[in-house]
């Protein structure tokens, strides 16, 4: 009897989660840091799927990039010599979800 290699199938909810994750990443990177998704390793769907599989939230993903590359926020009014925290917070996530029309997460751990 021949066995076929199982090809992992993307379920509709998994596909929706990946799309939502990618939309949030794209919006946050553009509006908060002036970057495009193609400027990051997450332009690849497989990289996003891996983040979701490991339970890494969008905020954790962006904040990891912020720390790794010393990113600076561009969405804050005015410039100050006082140190400002460049990482994302819950309010940033809510603003992104609202701007994208994503009221309730497909997966609660996305934010």
Among the listed residues 106, 69, 75, 101, the one whose alpha carbon sits nearest the alpha carbon of residue 88: 75
**5 or 105: which leads in pLDDT:** 105
Rounded distance, CA 37 to CA 22, Å?
A: 8
Q: What is the pLDDT of residues 1-25, one digit of tens each?
A: 444 444 444 555 878 899 999 999 9
pTM confidence score: 0.78
User: Are residues 33 and 73 in contact, defined by beta-carbon separation less than 8 angstroms?
Assistant: yes
Q: Does an H or E element contain 97, and which?
A: helix 90-100
4-13, 22-31, 76-85: the lowest-pLDDT one: 4-13
The domain spans of the chain are: 12-75+83-110
């Amino acid at each position: 009897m021949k066995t076929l290699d199982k090809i992992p199938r993307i379920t509709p909810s998994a596909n929706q989660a990946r799309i939502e994750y990618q939309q949030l990443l794209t919006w946050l990177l553009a509006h908060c840091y002036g970057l495009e998704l193609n400027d990051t390793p997450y332009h690849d769907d497989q990289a996003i799927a891996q983040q979701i599989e490991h339970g890494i939230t969008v905020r954790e993903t962006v904040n990891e990039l912020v720390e790794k590359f010393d990113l600076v926020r561009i969405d804050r009014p005015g410039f100050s010599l006082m140190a400002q925290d460049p990482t994302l917070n819950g309010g940033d996530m809510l603003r992104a979800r609202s701007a994208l029309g994503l009221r309730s997460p497909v997966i609660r751990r996305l934010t």
